[in-house]
Amino acid sequence: MPTAHAPRIAIIGAGPGGLTCARILQRHGITATVYDRDAGPHARNQGGTLDLHADNGQIALREAGLLDDFFRLARPEGQEMRQLDPAGALLFHHLPEEGERFKPEIDRGHLRDLLLDSLHPGTVRWGHTLKDVSGPTDGARTLHFTNGSAVGADLVIGADGAWSRVRRAVSRATPEYSGVSFLEAWFDDVDNRHPGIAELVGRGSAAAADGDRALFAQRNSGNHIRVYLIQRVPADWITAGGLTPEDTDGIRRILLERYAHWSPRMRALITANDGLYVDRPIFALPVPHTWAHNPTVTLLGDAAHLMPPLGVGVNLAMLDACELALALANTDTVDAAVRTYEKTMVPRSTETARLLDGGAAELLSTELPDFAGADRA
């Protein structure tokens, strides 16, 4: 892209997708500014662990010049996968081979820090919650933030997740509840405080289901484990039951009733957690999600194609970011670059979304899964 009239590129969202896009652009001499609502890089916990696949997420990291650094941080042992029954019996077990690096695990916080540290100082503007995007579709846009500030941009990239404010500039689509909800539970210092749970989960992940409810447990770094309790319930099931998210004892009582026929060993994964539960109802965008081409606004990751959390979200977001950044680096105009990017991204995400449509409910199935061979995160 010619530098005489360098476009002003604004990326909304400092998640893996937005940061990857900024990093690859900077490697090609293109300036971009990232705006994020968080007060700072460590304002909140970034969540659990994820696997980055060789055929998408790792491609993006290679283009970002960070693949070797990623492998130094990643946990290849996290590729271990166990499928259990409600009694705790082992139904399937995958142990990664020596040197296997197709989808090693990394904590989300570690990945974010890796990307942040690779950017020029001042690239990310913290404390900027986007309010809306104004301006003509074929001209300069103005970003309005809730702190009262406003900035101009020639290209606005929405990397701001499920409830994207940028999406509103190109699409009326909103995420819809899938009918399935995750309830997250944390376990700290597991080898010492929860040795039974550590033994059940192993060094990677473990899953179990009975047809109506399920759980998925993941080993994180720092001797932590996160467990996601999966239920087909109304999105407001906690408040509808007269509870609040802070009522840990009340939620535990409901869970003990619903998982009563699971073995005591397995119920420890459900009720022996340290601290509060975190309610995570699963939403997805309609399939397909498309929009009329706009030369000044585009989307990537969950802002473009929110899907059930079945191991593809971050990988697709980073691949989107990579392809958009390369299109901007190798195309004469922003408009042409956005067209080139969307020509590949939209069909790919539509195909994947169709494959995963309704997939959250499949996590409840007792059939031996895709956990045996699928790429879940």
pLDDT in tens, 278-290: 999 999 999 999 9
Helix 248-258 to helix 264-271 angle (10° resolution) is 150
**Distance between CA atoms of residues 88 and 274, nearest Å:** 21
Report CA-CA distances (Å) from 117 to 51, 107, 121, 186: 20, 16, 9, 28
Dihedral, 60, 65, 69, 74 alpha carbons, nearest 10:
10
Residue 97 burial (10 A CB sphere; 0-12, 13-18, 19+): exposed
pLDDT in tens, 150-171: 999 999 999 999 999 999 999 9
From the list 270, 279, 221, the residue with the least C-alpha distance to 88 is 270
CB 244 within 8 A of CB 317: no
Two tokens, residue 80 = 């271990």
* pLDDT beyond 60 at 173: yes
Two tokens, residue 58 = 């790792």
Dihedral, 304, 310, 316, 318 alpha carbons, nearest 10:
110
Distance of CA 20 to the CA centre of its chain: 14
Backbone angles phi and psi of 170, in degrees to 5? -130, -15
pLDDT of residue 310: 83
Stated pTM of the model: 0.94
* Paired residues of 279 in beta bridges: 183
Q: How many CA atoms lie within 13 A of 215 on its CB side?
A: 29
Domains of the chain as residue ranges with CATH: 9-81+97-174+285-361 (3.50.50.60), 176-284 (3.30.9.30)
pLDDT in tens, 32-62: 999 999 999 888 877 889 999 999 999 999 9
Two tokens, residue 229 = 């309790």
